[in-house]
Amino acid sequence: MARRKKTITGAELMCRSLVEEGVTYLFGYTGGAIMPVYDAFPKFPRLRHVMVRHEQAAAFAAQGMARATGRPGVCIATSGPGATNLMTGIADAHMDSVPIIALTGQVSTSVIGTDAFQESDIIGMLVPVTKQSYILDDPYEIPRVVKEAFYLANTGRKGPVNIDLPKDISNAVIPDDGFDTTIRYPVASPPGIRKDQLEHVRKLMASAERPVVFVGHGVIQAEAQGEVRRFLERSKMPFSCTLHGISALPADHPQYLGMMGMHGTVEANRAIERADLIIALGMRFDDRVTGKLDEYARDADVIHVEHDPSEINKNVEATVAIYSDLKSAVVEMTKVVEPKPYKEWFAFAAENRKYWESLDPVNRGNGLGNGGNLLMASVIRKLSELTDGRDNVVADVGQHQMFTARYYRFDRFNTWFNSGGLGSMGFSVPAAMGVKFARPAERVWVIVGDGSFQMNIQELGTIMEQNIDIKILLLNNNFLGMVRQWQDLFHGSRFVGTPVKNPDFIALAKAYGISGERVVDGKELEPALRRAMKHKGAYLLEVVTDMEEMILPMIPAGSRFSDMRVTR
């Protein structure tokens, strides 16, 4: 009697393919079209499904996992509203070049295009914000598509990939053999720095008197921190970080000028304004960095090292445009750079730093605003001091995000996580869940405002169910603070749609079994932060902050660096 061939369902094949790619955590929410995949999970105990309370949170949690590990995070949802709810997190990952795999259920192939129940053209919707999108019409394709999706997501410029899985393909039963795993769309490797470019770079560096090195997110993604640090310390040049470049190098490095751009430091922005050479490493010159483009760093030559050719000369024209792997280019640049002391240049930076320190509200008085409430900047500075700048910090979007970028002194590599390009409120809590799963032995902080917190506040349920030990520092000024700041500065102080009537956050956390406390008096802050740090389990620390506080300096949108505002 002939032996019967072993069979496997499409759903089981999907699960096995995910295991073969090293997946452990999947963040998601079930539903009709994706149910066969969920039904297969018990057969693959390595796969741990984390049930979020909203699909958007699944995409953000997958981002947190990806940012903390350097490998693609995975989110999963059903068809229709489940898939569309993932879209914000997917678009966010696209803007910030974060590798995630979004697995979505789809109605059966026989009814696609008929407006079937919970059908949506998720592929059509996601094409602009994914590196690749697949819809499977043959279960034999599953192993190849999964392997290719993970490869594409994490190769070249990283980003999201979507796999849409119709229900009948999940339920299909096929022989368990003969699968093709050939990657059909390999990513081209950048050519690297040419000899003529290297010589041009050498001459520009040799003649520069006022250089500034820009450290972008690409330095973190390429894990090129060692190479970049050696270049900086050999060249003696000052450097500044983009928002996403923060934590690439320690904040206490003597050559560090701080963050650049709209809410950057005075010393970084004034140095950029006067620079005669900019060396941009793994960054894209977005509008929050450049301000008014036609007047940006007009007296500077630009050396731009980037592994995505579409970013080169897109916003700022480069004197030398280097399409290359970051590590190899920096290594070659280090070989030819001639060290200089740049004494006058650093003195200029120090003078501007001292100027800002004389104006900084945190350095005057007792850290309280005009209304007697704590300043966000003071809270973040105290957190930085108590943690020695070594904790993982996940910020949401708004004033608190910029205060954290400015006042938390990051000492460890890749410990700063936030939504930059898309600026998605509601990012922090679910992203922090992903970071904590990736780094279970390390402390993870959420820094969030009262507006952002309520965007995905339902994830307190996920934290409760999964017993996720994250510390939530809620800076509550009863306003949408960043919008209020713009209204105050540019719209005649007409506060429309920005005052927020809030619930009792501590009571709400208690309902989810999460401990917490509320701080009003400045004297209570340090003891409360210490209690949160020592507490085993999730902790919500709400701090009432000054509603009139502004994040300064500020370069108004589309303005010149010379228009930077340092006071109200």
CA distances to 11, 110, 119, 237, 313 from 116, rounded to whole Å, are 21, 10, 5, 61, 45
Is the CB of residue 24 less than 8 Å from the CB of residue 48?
yes
| CA–CA separation, 89 and 422 (whole Å) | 9
| CA–CA separation, 246 and 7 (whole Å) | 50
CA distances to 250, 411, 414 from 388, rounded to whole Å, are 11, 7, 15
CA angle 149, 82, 167 (to 5 degrees): 65
Contacts of 41 (CB under 8 A, 6+ apart): 15, 47, 49
- The tokens for 31 are 């539903």
- The tokens for 148 are 């290719």
Q: Please tell me whether residue 370 adopts helix, strand or coil conformation.
A: coil
Query: In 364-440, where do the E strands start and end?
Result: 392-395, 416-417
Which strands make up the sheet holding 25-29, listed edge to edge? 48-51, 25-29, 73-77, 100-106, 161-166, 132-135
CA angle 183, 187, 190 (to 5 degrees): 150
> Per the residue annotation, which of 65, 259, 262, 482 is the catalytic one?
482
For 200, other C-beta atoms within 10 Å of its C-beta total 16
- The tokens for 354 are 């001292």
Q: Please tell me whether residue 393 adopts helix, strand or coil conformation.
A: strand
> Per the residue annotation, which of 20, 117, 338, 490 is the catalytic one?
117
| CA–CA separation, 349 and 275 (whole Å) | 11
Q: Please give the full DSSP string across 31-46, using - where no structure is assigned.
A: -TTTHHHHHHGGG-TT
Active site residue 55: yes
Active site residue 482: yes
For 537, other C-beta atoms within 10 Å of its C-beta total 14
> Per the residue annotation, which of 95, 118, 295, 348 is the catalytic one?
118
Q: Tell me the Cα Rg of the chain.
A: 25
> Per the residue annotation, which of 55, 148, 227, 332 is the catalytic one?
55
> Per the residue annotation, which of 167, 236, 382, 471 is the catalytic one?
167
Active site residue 117: yes
Catalogue the active-site residues. Answer: 55, 117-118, 167, 482
